[in-house]
Amino acid sequence: MFSANSIRLSIAPIAWTNDDLPELGGHISFEQCIDEMAAAGFSGSEIGNKYPRNPDVLKPALEKRGLQISSAWFSTYFSEEGRTEDTVSQFIQQMNFLKAMGAKIINICECGHSVQGTPKHVFDRPSYTDQQWLQVAEGLNRIGEMARENGMLIAYHYHMGTIVQTAAETDRLMEMTDSDLVHLLVDTGHAFYAGDDPLKTVQKYGPRIRNVHLKDIRQTVLDEVEAKKMNFLDSVKAGVFTVPGDGVIDFDPIFEALVTAKYQGWFVVEAEQDPEKANPLEYAKKARTFIREHAGI
C-alpha cells in the first residue's frame, strides 16, 4: 500500500464541537477533545472554535499529546462584490497563524452566496455568473501565490451548498486556476453527498491532491435528506455523515488510487456528528481501526 511514512493521520475537532452548530458538543472542552484525539491514535488535528489562537499556548498543549496542526479551513468571498481585499487580509492572518503552528496546508472554500448555513435545501443554490467564476479563480490564484511565497499551499475544498459542490464544478474550477498555485482537497463524503464518485476525483486529479478528508455517508439519512429537502446543517444533525467504514462508501479503491497517485500527506478524519448520538472517542477509534485495516497505516 502506501510507502513508509508517506501518510500521517489527523482528525477534525468537529466531531467533538461543531463550529457551525454550537449546540453540538458545546459542553466538550478543548482539553477533552485533544486528549481523546491522542488516545484514539492520531498525530494531527485541524482547528476548532475552542482552540486557543495564540501559538505559544496552542502549540505546547498539542505537543504534550503528540499532536500537531495538519491544516485548517478558510472561507473566501471572492464571488461577492467588494469583499476581495478583506478576504485577502483575513487569509494573510490565517496563513500566518498556521505557519506559526508549523502547518503547510490551508483548506480553502469559496463561501460567497453559499446556502450551507441557511434554511434552504442544500441543492437549492444560486446561479453564479461567468464573472463571479472569474473573480473566484483570480482570487484563488492570488492567495495561492501568497501561500507559495510562504512555503505553504492552498487546497480547494468543494463543499455542499457552495459554488463548487459537484464534480463538474470542481472540474471548472481546476481548469480556471493555476495548477501550481491552487491544489485540491478530496472530501469523500461531500463528493458522495453531491451525487459524484470520489474515486473518479482521485483518479482524475491525483498529482494535484494535497489533502484528503475521510468521511462516510449513511445512505438512509441521505435518502431522507433528499426526500424532505433538508438544509445542510439539519442533515448533519440527522447523521448524514459518519467515519470511514461506517457508511456506504467503498474506500478500498480510493486508497488504491491514492497509492497509484503517490499521494503523500495527511488523511484527515472529518465526520461531523452529534456527539450525544455518536460518542467522539468511540468513533475516532473506529475510524483509526478502519484506516489501519484498509490502508495499512
Could you list the residue range(s) of the whole structural domain that residue 199 is in?
7-295
pLDDT over threshold 90, residue 22: no
Question: pLDDT digits over 57-107, tens only?
Answer: 999 999 999 999 999 999 999 999 999 999 999 999 999 999 999 999 999
When pLDDT is averaged across residues 120-124 and rounded to a whole number, the result is 94
Q: What whole-number percentage of the chain has pLDDT above 90?
A: 95
Q: Please indicate, yes or no, if residue 106 is contained in any of the structural domains.
A: yes
Residue 44 lies in a domain: yes
Per-residue model confidence (pLDDT) at position 4: 81
Q: Say yes or no to pLDDT of 23 above 90.
A: no
pTM of the model: 0.97
Give the pLDDT mean for 187-196.
98
Average per-residue pLDDT for the chain? 97
Residue 291 lies in a domain: yes
CATH number of the domain where residue 82 is located:
3.20.20.150
Q: In this structure, are strands 241-242 and 216-217 parallel, antiparallel, or unpaired?
A: antiparallel
Q: How many CB atoms lie within 10 A of CB 188?
A: 25
CB-CB contact of 128 with 81 (8 Å):
no
- 210 phi, psi to nearest 5 deg: -125, 0
Tell me what pLDDT residue 19 has: 85
> What pLDDT score does 124 carry?
94
Q: How far is CA 81 from CA 84, 89, 131, 194, in A?
A: 7, 15, 11, 27
Question: Does residue 215 sit within a domain?
Answer: yes
Cell digits of residue 198: 470520489
Q: How far apart are CA 182 and CA 105, in angstroms?
A: 11
| Cα 277 to chain centroid, rounded | 22
Average pLDDT (171-196) is 98
Mean pLDDT of 110-131: 95
22-26, 97-101, 159-163, 215-219: the lowest-pLDDT one: 22-26
Q: Could you tell me the CA-to-CA distances from 257 to 38, 207, 247, 278, 295 in Å, in that order?
A: 28, 11, 20, 30, 11
Number of domains the chain contains: 1
pLDDT score of 149 = 98
pLDDT-derived band at 200, boundaries 50, 70, 90? very high
Does a structural domain hold residue 34? yes
- The answer to whether residue 181 sits within a structural domain is yes
Neighbours of 175 (CB within 10 A): 9
Q: Is 102 left (phi over 0), alpha (psi -120 to 50) or beta?
A: left
Percent of the chain predicted with pLDDT > 70: 100
The answer to whether residue 2 sits within a structural domain is: no
Does residue 1 belong to any structural domain of this protein? no
pLDDT of residue 194: 98
What are the pLDDT digits (tens) for 33-66? 999 999 999 999 999 999 999 999 999 999 999 9
